Amino acid sequence: MPKDRPILIAPSILSADFARFGAEIRAIEDHGADWVHVDVMDGHFVPNLTFGPQLCRAIRPHVRTVMDVHLMIAPVDPWIEAIAGAGADYISAHVEAGPHIHRSLQAIRAAGARPGVAINPGTPVEALDNLLDLVDLVNVLGVNPGFGGQKFIPSQLAKIARLRAMIGDRPILIEIDGGVSAETIGAIATAGADVFVAGAGVFSGGSVEDPAPYGRNIANLRSIAQDAARKR
Ligand code: DX5
Ligand code: ZN
């Protein structure tokens, strides 16, 4: 695997101040965030309810980097146009969200966004076999989706390594989402991830008034991942 793969830190706004998303996004981007990860949840596919296309549209002007929308919803198709129209750069849908994920991924690209497929901890990586030629990103969930601040599930390390082999030299980024911390990011980077979503791991200890901890957390995560990636 080429050693010069990117190391991108994507804070999840699920752990941000829900009353001040614009200011929080500016703060994390001012302090080193490469992407902004936006967790859309419908209270049906996952046992939590966050926000939808209107919020994506409202925060878009505040995102100077990349808006990475993670759809934890089922069905997916009725919302693709609205989320893409809100300005999402990447839109990831779950392979478990329904029987027609192949068509949903085609629809995401047709709507003008870069398609990603997300996969839960209990789903074998082989479920992605017929989808890799449709996507620019694979989001491997490191936790059972729905909440921030959970513990990383170590069995996902082997899944990342297996996925890296399946991808070969296709231009597909592997994203890890959930449970990323200073304690876990090294092994995850060694396994082959490129994009590291972190909610609690970035937002802990900081605030819009005091964003310096955001910068320290992001820099620390990046340096651990870069050191580990050199050993890949
Ligand atoms: C979980 C979300 C993740 C979560 C990550 O359902 O998809 O993006 O916000 O949060 P942490 O990094 O706190 O596990
Ligand atoms: Zn997510």
List own/partner pairs for 104-109 with CB under 8 A and 24 or more apart. Answer: 104/76, 104/77, 104/80, 105/131, 105/134, 105/135, 106/134, 107/77, 107/80, 108/80, 108/84, 109/134
Is 39 one of the annotated active-site residues of the chain?
yes
Which residues surround ligand 1 with Cβ inside 6 Å?
12, 14-15, 37, 39, 70, 143, 145-146, 148-150, 177-180, 197-201
Query: Can you tell me which atom of ligand 1 is nearest the CA of 178?
Result: 14
Q: Which residue(s) pair with 10 in the sheet?
A: 197
For the chain, list the domains and their CATH numbers. Answer: 8-230 (3.20.20.70)
CA 174 / ligand 2 centre spacing (Å): 13
Task: State the CB neighbour count (10 A cutoff) for residue 230.
Answer: 10
Candidate of 91, 177, 202 to mutate for ligand 1, largest count of ligand atoms within 8 Å of Cβ: 177
List the beta bridge partners of residue 118.
94, 139
pLDDT in tens, the chain (232 residues): 455 678 999 999 999 999 999 999 999 999 999 999 999 999 999 999 999 999 999 999 999 999 999 999 999 999 999 999 999 999 999 999 999 999 999 999 999 999 999 999 999 999 999 999 999 999 999 999 999 999 999 999 999 999 999 999 999 999 999 999 999 999 999 999 999 999 999 999 999 999 999 999 999 999 999 999 988 7
Bridge partners of residue 139, in order along the sequence: 118, 175
